[in-house]
């Protein structure tokens, strides 16, 4: 995996971290000859700098050409072969996407998603790769580069594609099967994707603890989900306000699944242990038993102690059911 610890910028230009296979001048000429512009830039110099930055991703990720007016790749099969930037441009795409098992992306689709992560201590302005839109500045993606040893903590080294997590408008991707559109036209044709200076490819960072705790939490919830779908959504869950465990009455973070499990989230203000003290598996709070614990969540279910079954034999003097004489005839 690429080493992104050595980073520097010079007037928007990333100091090369990796040996580049693509000729930037050749790529610039390719872009200028295309009907659509899949690399955002006003001047030739801006396009050239952006191409140089993007080309650095070739060492550990693949590019995908995106069809105009859609978010779909122009290639029918992808995932096994990593296309170079130059190869992806040869399909004459309207936009470019990248994919890698080491990418972890938080996609903020609603302002409520920003409130949600801020409550968890996640800095959505922190320096890493940001993908923004020229027409809707508050909708953007934040991408991190996940080391292999962190991925080893996840089942199958990934999570399912997670949409609208807890109904907050936050989408989460950490899988080779998910791609991220990072440059070119948006499907509606009105906006373009771009990365601001200081938040480009060369600014990629490993996910901080707060972000990784979120991924571990999602992985834990998905492990209890019997669905085999490649996409995971909590839209069927019921938000709890207030939460019967911690008393949270704002931000509506705690929720109950359709299987009756209550997930009481650990926040800076509210948590089960802040209200009730240290807890261990099996502890019962107001009729709910603690059944699972992770750093960001305590999971409870209704406490139903197993009652002893009392055997009531048939009384000895109770007559046996006999068929009537008419039935015997």
How confident is the model over 239-272, as pLDDT tens digits? 888 999 999 887 667 888 777 888 898 887 889 9
For the cut 60, the answer to whether the pLDDT of residue 8 exceeds it is no
DSSP class of 83:
B
Between residues 279 and 60, the one the model is more confident about: 279
Q: What percentage of the chain carries pLDDT values higher than 90?
A: 42
Confidence of residue 18 (pLDDT cuts 50, 70, 90): very low
Rounded (5°) CA angle 318-323-329: 155
Q: What is the pLDDT of residue 207?
A: 96
How confident is the model over 51-82, as pLDDT tens digits? 888 988 988 899 999 999 999 999 988 777 78
d(CA 293, CA 69): 44
Q: What is the pLDDT of residue 329?
A: 47
d(CA 219, CA 172): 11
For the cut 90, the answer to whether the pLDDT of residue 185 exceeds it is yes
The whole-model pTM stands at 0.70
Strand 140-145 relative to strand 129-133, pairing: antiparallel
Per-residue 3-state assignment (H helix, E strand, C coil) for 273-287: HHHHCCCCCCCEECC
Question: Average per-residue pLDDT in the chain?
Answer: 82
What is the rounded average pLDDT of the residues 222-240? 65
């Amino acid at each position: 995996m690429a080493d992104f610890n050595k980073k520097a910028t010079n007037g928007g230009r990333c100091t090369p971290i990796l040996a580049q296979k693509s000729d930037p001048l050749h790529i610039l000429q390719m872009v200028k000859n295309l009907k659509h512009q899949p690399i955002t830039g006003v001047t030739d110099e801006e396009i050239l700098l952006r191409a140089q930055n993007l080309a650095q991703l070739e060492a550990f990720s693949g590019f995908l050409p995106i069809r105009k007016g859609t978010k779909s790749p122009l290639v029918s099969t992808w995932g096994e072969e990593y296309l170079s930037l130059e190869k992806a441009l040869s399909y004459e795409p309207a936009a470019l996407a990248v994919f890698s098992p080491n990418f972890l992306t938080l996609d903020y689709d609603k302002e409520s998603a920003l409130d949600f992560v801020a409550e968890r201590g996640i800095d959505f302005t922190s320096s890493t790769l940001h993908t923004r839109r020229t027409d809707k500045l508050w909708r953007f993606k934040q991408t991190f580069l996940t080391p292999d040893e962190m991925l080893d903590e996840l089942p199958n080294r990934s999570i399912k594609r997670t949409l609208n997590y807890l109904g907050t408008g936050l989408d989460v991707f950490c899988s080779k099967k998910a791609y991220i559109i990072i440059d070119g036209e948006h499907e509606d044709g009105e906006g373009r994707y771009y990365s601001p200076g200081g938040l480009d490819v060369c600014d990629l960072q490993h996910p901080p603890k707060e972000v990784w705790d979120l991924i571990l939490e999602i992985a834990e919830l998905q492990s209890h989900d019997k669905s085999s779908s490649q996409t995971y959504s909590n839209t069927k869950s019921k938000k709890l306000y207030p939460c019967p465990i911690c008393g949270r009455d704002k931000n509506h973070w705690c929720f109950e699944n359709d299987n009756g499990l209550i997930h009481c989230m650990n926040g800076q203000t509210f948590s089960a242990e802040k209200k009730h003290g240290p807890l261990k598996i099996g502890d019962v709070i107001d009729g709910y038993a603690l059944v699972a614990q992770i750093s960001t969540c305590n999971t409870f279910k209704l406490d139903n102690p197993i009652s002893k079954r009392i055997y009531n034999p048939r009384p000895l003097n109770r007559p046996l059911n006999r068929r009537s004489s008419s039935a015997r005839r």
